[in-house]
Structure 1
Amino acid sequence: MTDPNWLDRVLELDVGPVAHGGHCVARLDGRVVFVRHALPGERVRAVVTEDRHGGFCRADAVSVLRASPDRVPAPCVWARAGGCGGCDFQHASPPAQRSLKADVLAEQLRRLGGVERSVEVEELPGGALGWRRRLRLAVGADGRAGLRAHRSHEVIPIADCSLAPAGLLPPVLDRHWPPGDEVAVELDADGVAHAGPDAGPVVHRAAGREWRLSPGAFWQVHPELADTLCAVVGEWSALPAGGRAWDLYGGAGVLASVLADRVGPTGAVLVVESDRAAVRSGREALADLPCVHWRPGRVERILPALLAAGRPDVVVADPPRKGLGRAVVDAIVSAGPDRLVYVACDPAALARDVGLLAARGYRLADLRAFDAFPMTHHFESVALFTPDS
């Protein structure tokens, strides 16, 4: 091929390993092609959807010439080339999906963190469909809500979503919404559906407690993840009675409630959270735990005051997708905790921070990962760091 612009070309590709982002890597004529809707080892025909002017390009597999034994029929008609961008792996069996995610985590740790580590991505109860209790829909120019196409602002006019609980979406999709708006849809712990900004308080439960949150406020989308994270964080914190913990990016205090149970009334748990609504909900839910103290604001701005207040035994951090970053890592290491328990939703950010922490004397002591987002390329990890002896 002499033309460096391959946009809209159909290519025959031998598909290589999975990569972070929901695609696999293929190579042709010295160029890298990131292919969606394919699996490692397959041979496919793929149409190029994006070309970086002679660099890498992106493509969607449109036919499979040699199929992987892990390939299965996608349960949703929109999980295809030109369809919804929400799911990446509906064409792979659930065990294969978890294996692909484990490969991604190991590759990111090796390449960005300098660590050779393999880990099983563990299945959560409930199956691969019907698990997603929270969704954000886009509204098209016609006022109908739907899901966006992959890497596009186009709104797909879906009739339902196989990841959502049965019956949650159809009433929302039948309504007319302001064009260009977004609609948060949520099924709470009492089975009540909430949609739009005027919905009432959303009830969630975890760690034996109840939270009442504003519609659209952050909560884990998989119903089993909050309690799973509480169990791991509680165990790995190893906090003594009377101990001191920081809970960074603490949300409404779900993990703080577990830490507070461990330190007891003579200990202290300092929660840092920038979302004022989450802080209000957390204060209400944890009003019976006087050892929990709230520090509203951005972690980067609050950390200097925490450093001046004394050394924590344990730091728990659940940052957004971008991870901790150099400045926050430096501050945590300066505090000198015995343990850092790091909850991560992005393997690349986690792997980068693994490298930053290792350079400052904190090693990766343990690691678990959970398939909290079946059918997509996302998953949740929990990492334990301890000082080098």
Structure 2
Amino acid sequence: MLTVRLGKIAHGGHTVGRHEGRVIFVRHGIPGELVKVRLTDSAPEAKFWRADVSEVLEASEHRVPHFWDAADALKHRDPVGGAEFGHITLEHQRELKSQVAAEQMTRLGGLNAEDCNLPAVQAVKGSVDGLGWRTRMSYSVDAQGRLAMSAFRSNQLTWIAQMPLAHPAIEATGLYSVDYTGIERVEAAVSSQDDRTVLILLAEAKPGAAAKVAKQFAEGVNVASFSQQGGSAADGKGRLQVLAGSAYLTEKVLGEKFRITGEGFWQVHREAASLLTRRVIELAEPAAGEQIADLYAGAGLFSVPLAKAVGSEGRVFSIEGAPGTHADAKKNLRSYPQATVIRGRVERVLRQVARDASMDAVVLDPPRTGIDKQVAAELGASAVSRICYVSCDPASFARDTARLMGRGYELEHMEIHDLYPHTHHMESIGLFVRR
């Protein structure tokens, strides 16, 4: 136990403290506070230590009671993850995220803070308390067969009876009272447009367990099971066995319908798909007759409006590597002959597409790790005039900004949206244009 004065915010949900010259990354604090911390990682040879706030001696004016008991570090030694900013006012959360984004863009992105106008994080419409926005949830199961979550960098599971960030329709299913003995992981999903159907996915640890669990759910809840014999659905070797209802949800975004299977990727915040689609189309400005590549296209969220915009004389290449999500994209784009849906590694497919077509624009929404050097090199070699980049991680976005700038692009526009209230995460959109 140490007493430290917390300094600036750092990426990852930490504040920076120091003790006798040693840097400590502290969770559950607020810059400026005087706190007692419990060290969670303090190896003598480590470059820095990690700690959790255990007591607040001088509180920030922005501190509020945590909305979720299980995630409150002042009440629990191992608070569960997923709401690490829940003790901070929403307005100040966005201020701290803006500081993190600016620090990443200057340190990793190579931008000069004095010469560029880095944006502030924008609030997203919805509940004023920042709760109930998650349309997708993933839970572990403890030894007693109860839904559980773990603390940051911990394998220790804590039983939970609620998750206030989850969509109300998920919370209303009664899933926390079910016995999940024999189940390894439970996932729940609900459409952001139609909350009458909740899809429950059960990853079996023991064959036959999912069928027993399915019987416990209330009538009207769609239940499906992942059979992981020989692999998982994520790598294409698993098998989705429907136990009741259907194995997919229907989403509607700006008038277009999308079919999303249970294991398929979809934006988590109930407002995210509409917000991001609208902004991507406004920034990318697709025009009739253009050829556009949608990289890491998922289920075709951006590919569909891009295909509509380029029309029958244009062409859209929707590229995705995950097999289940790729299958969703094929269904969602089947009425657009101008869309070519391709499954494969982005860097390989992009090289082929760039050889065969003269691309006018690229839209990309990569995973949290961002794009790799090869993708940046292929984009630079293609000399495409504009790139609209959607990112869920400020560090990888900043690094990729430097990579693209090194390939002849400049960041013409950037905006950040608070699509993950009460967490340290944020969503950035950048428009890069060829110099």
Question: In the alignment, is the contact (CA less than 8 A) between 2:145 and 2:180 conserved in 1?
Answer: yes
Moved over 3 A (4+): none
Matched, 1:211 2:258: yes
Per-residue deviation at 1:16?
A: 0.5
**Distance across 1 between alignment mates of 2:183 and 2:335:** 43
- Aligned with 1:196: secondary structure? strand
| Aligned pairs for 1:156-167 within 5 A | 156-166=158-168
Structure 2 residue aligned with 1:61? 53
Aligned counterparts, 1:1-389, within 5 A: 10-54=1-45, 55-81=47-73, 82-115=78-111, 116=113, 117=116, 118-127=118-127, 128-166=130-168, 168-169=170-171, 171-179=174-182, 181-188=184-191, 189-191=193-195, 192-197=197-202, 198-199=223-224, 200=246, 201-388=248-435
Question: Distance between the aligned counterparts of 1:162 and 1:264, measured in 2?
Answer: 43
**Structure 1 residues 49-84: Cα deviation after superposition (integer angstroms, max 9, x where no partner):** 112434211111111111111111111111222211
Q: Distance in 1 between matches of 2:169 and 2:289?
A: 47
| Residues 219-275 of structure 1: per-residue CA shift (max 9 Å, x gap) | 111011111111111011122210010000001111011211221111000011012
1:7 paired residue number = none
CA contact (8 A) 2:169 2:198 kept: no
Cα deviation for residue 140 of structure 1 reads 1.1
> For 2:393 and 2:43, how far apart are their aligned partners in 1?
24
Give 1:309 deviation, angstroms.
0.8
> C-alpha displacement at 1:301, in angstroms?
2.1
Larger displacement relative to structure 2 (211-220 or 56-65): 211-220
SS of the residue corresponding to residue 259 of structure 1 reads helix
Q: What are the superposed Cα offsets for residues 97-131 of structure 1, whole Å, 9 maximum, x if unpaired?
A: 11111111100011111112521111111120011
Contact 1:207 1:257 in 2 (8 A): no
Q: Which one-letter code corresponds to 2:380 in the other structure?
A: V
Q: What is the CA–CA distance in structure 1 between the aligned matches of 2:351 and 2:168, rounded to whole Å?
A: 47
Partner residue in 2 for 1:3 = none
The size of the alignment, in residue pairs, is 379
Q: Is the 8 A contact 2:263 2:324 kept in 1?
A: no
Q: Could you tell me how far apart the structure 2 residues matched to 1:140 and 1:303 are?
A: 43
**CA–CA separation in structure 2 for the residues paired with 1:208 and 1:166:** 24
CA distance in 2, matches of 1:21, 1:96: 16
Bigger mean CA deviation after superposition, 140-149 or 308-317: 140-149
TM-score (norm 2): 0.85
Q: Secondary structure in 2 aligned to 1:332?
A: helix
Task: Show structure 2 runs of 5+ residues with no match.
Answer: 203-222, 225-245
User: More displaced, 192-201 or 54-63?
Assistant: 192-201
CA distance in 1, matches of 2:349, 2:266: 23
Q: CA deviation at 1:165?
A: 2.4
TM-aligned CA deviation for residue 180 of structure 1: 6.3
- After superposition, the CA RMSD in angstroms is 1.4
Question: For structure 1, which segment, 296-305 or 198-207, has the greater mean C-alpha deviation from structure 2 after superposition?
Answer: 198-207
Shift of 1:47: 0.8
3-state SS of paired residue (1:34) = strand
Q: Does the CA contact (< 8 Å) of 1:22 and 1:36 recur in 2?
A: yes
Segments of 5+ residues of structure 1 without an aligned counterpart are: 1-9
Tell me which amino acid in the other structure corresponds to 1:26. G
1:78 is paired with a residue whose SS is: helix
- Contact 1:15–1:25 (CA<8 Å) still a contact in 2? yes
- TM-score, normalization: structure 1? 0.94
Distance in 2 separating the partners of 1:52 and 1:328: 38
